[in-house]
Structure formats: structure tokens, C-alpha cells
């Protein structure tokens, strides 16, 4: 190994972890060839990051109290982070919306610990989220303003904790709640669901206090998203002769 020449101490540390790494592999049929490259990440992100060099990323922790992404540039996330290249700006607005959080909260398991409920995210459920046919037009920059709030509050968890605390009426927190409503209104318009009137409340349904859409609205929106997901699947999987007939 080149590492042995470059840094003998790092090399010795790596060897000390070999048995632990090999034991964690389990059945090698799942990861063929893994034992021959036990010191490497199975799916390194170098190619992925190089492919989307120059684009910002939406990053969210796989295990999180709030499934709210941060917009980041020039970052290498760990394997505890999901990263999505922001190739089109309107996606930022959608991923900050209550619609997106409703979907993720429903289709990802919850893990209780330290008196907090966390959501365990996975790529499959995120990519299955049905995007609207129209792109939300964020002319006021509400999505970026909300991301700035997350940054200024030193992260998603303290920022969202403040929003979900009904007693917190600090000006920046009140403005952040307003931004949530603005973002949701933009996304609602993109879906074309003009019959819905967005209403919010503070609730605690066993996952800690939340500032969210009313339960009735969340159930209605989830039902519509599921139907839209099924519609997209049927359109994408119809026989080729029916596609040509269109």
C-alpha cells in the first residue's frame, strides 16, 4: 500500500480496523469483491461529485428529526448524508415545502431516542416523490431566504425547533414561519390544487411539537400525492404502442 510509505501510523491504524471491517461485511454475495477492498467505501462519491461539479447540493441527514435539506456548495458529505445535485433551482423550493415533508414522514420509518423522534430517510422514497407538472416560480427568493435562516441558526435542528416552539416569537422565527407559508403556496400553485386552502397549527402527534399543516390537510395532500405517483407510474409503464397512439 502507498499509505504505508506516506504515513506508517495511519497504515497501522487502518490494519487495526481490518477485522472489524471484515466482520461487518457479513454475506459477501451482497457486496462481491468487498473483502479484497475492505479499506474502501463500497460506493465512493468521487465520480458522483465530479459529475455534478459546479452545482450546489441539497443535503439532508439520513437520520434526522426534521427532513429539511440544506443547500450547500463545495462539500463532501459522509455516508450519513443524502446528497442531491440541484441541477434545477425550482427543486429547492419543492424540497423545503410541507408537501415534501408530508411524503417523507409517511414513507420513512421513525426511530425514538433521547426523547426525540427521528426519521430514517432513504433514497428510494425521496426519488419516488411525485413532482408537480409545473415548476414553482420563486420570484421573491423565499427558498434561499429560508436556507439563510437555517444557516444563521446554526443548523436545521435548532432552526426548526425554534419554528415549532409556539412560544418563540422572535422576529427571525416569525419571518421563517412566513417563508414556510410562502413556499407552500408556490408549490400548491404548481400542483394546481386550487381547491385547497392552506391552514397551519402547532401540533404534537407523538413526534414532538411541530408547526405544520392541519391534520385534515396533510391527509388530503398525501392522498393526492400517492394518486399522482400512481398516475406517473402508469404513464411511464404503458405499452409502447399506447404511448405512440398519444
Give tens-digit pLDDT for 131-186. 999 999 999 999 999 999 999 999 999 999 999 999 999 999 999 999 999 999 99
C-alpha torsion sign, points 99, 102, 105, 108 = negative
Model confidence at 123, pLDDT cuts 50, 70, 90, reads confident
- Determine the average pLDDT of the residues in 61-87: 87
**pLDDT band at 114; cut points 50, 70, 90:** very low
Query: Does residue 206 have a pLDDT over 80?
Result: no
Q: Is the pLDDT of residue 6 over 70?
A: yes
3-state secondary structure of 67: coil
Dihedral sign from CA coordinates of 186, 192, 194, 200: negative
DSSP-assigned states of every residue in 152-184: HTTSHHHHHHHHH-TT---HHHHHHHHHHHHHH
Has this prediction a pTM greater than 0.85?
Answer: no
Say yes or no to pLDDT of 245 above 70: no
Distances (CA, A) of 33 to 7, 24, 42, 202: 26, 14, 10, 51
Half-sphere CA count of 23, side-chain side, radius 13 A:
5
Amino acid at each position: 500500500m502507498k499509505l504505508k510509505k506516506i504515513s506508517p501510523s495511519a497504515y497501522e491504524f487502518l490494519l487495526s480496523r481490518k477485522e472489524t471491517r471484515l466482520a461487518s461485511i457479513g454475506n459477501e454475495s451482497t457486496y462481491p469483491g468487498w473483502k479484497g477492498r475492505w479499506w474502501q467505501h463500497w460506493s465512493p462519491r468521487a465520480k458522483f461529485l465530479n459529475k455534478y461539479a459546479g452545482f450546489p447540493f441539497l443535503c439532508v441527514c439520513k437520520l434526522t428529526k426534521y427532513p429539511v435539506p440544506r443547500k450547500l456548495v463545495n462539500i463532501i458529505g459522509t455516508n450519513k448524508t443524502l446528497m442531491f445535485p440541484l441541477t434545477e433551482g425550482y427543486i429547492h423550493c419543492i424540497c423545503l415545502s410541507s408537501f415534501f415533508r408530508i411524503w417523507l414522514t409517511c414513507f420513512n420509518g421513525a426511530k425514538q431516542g433521547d426523547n426525540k423522534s427521528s426519521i430514517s430517510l432513504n433514497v428510494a422514497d425521496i426519488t419516488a416523490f411525485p413532482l408537480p407538472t409545473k415548476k414553482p416560480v420563486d420570484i421573491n427568493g423565499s427558498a434561499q431566504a429560508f436556507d439563510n435562516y437555517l444557516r444563521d441558526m446554526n443548523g436545521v435542528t435548532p432552526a426548526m425547533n425554534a419554528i415549532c416552539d409556539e412560544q418563540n416569537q422572535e422576529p427571525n422565527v416569525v419571518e421563517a414561519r412566513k417563508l414556510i407559508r410562502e413556499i407552500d403556496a408556490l408549490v400548491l400553485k404548481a400542483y394546481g390544487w386550487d381547491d385547497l386552502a392552506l391552514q397551519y397549527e402547532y401540533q404534537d402527534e407523538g413526534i414532538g411539537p411541530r408547526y405544520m399543516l392541519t391534520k385534515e390537510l396533510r391527509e388530503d395532500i398525501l392522498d393526492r400525492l400517492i394518486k399522482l405517483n400512481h398516475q406517473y407510474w402508469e404513464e411511464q409503464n404503458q405499452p409502447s404502442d399506447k404511448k405512440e397512439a398519444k
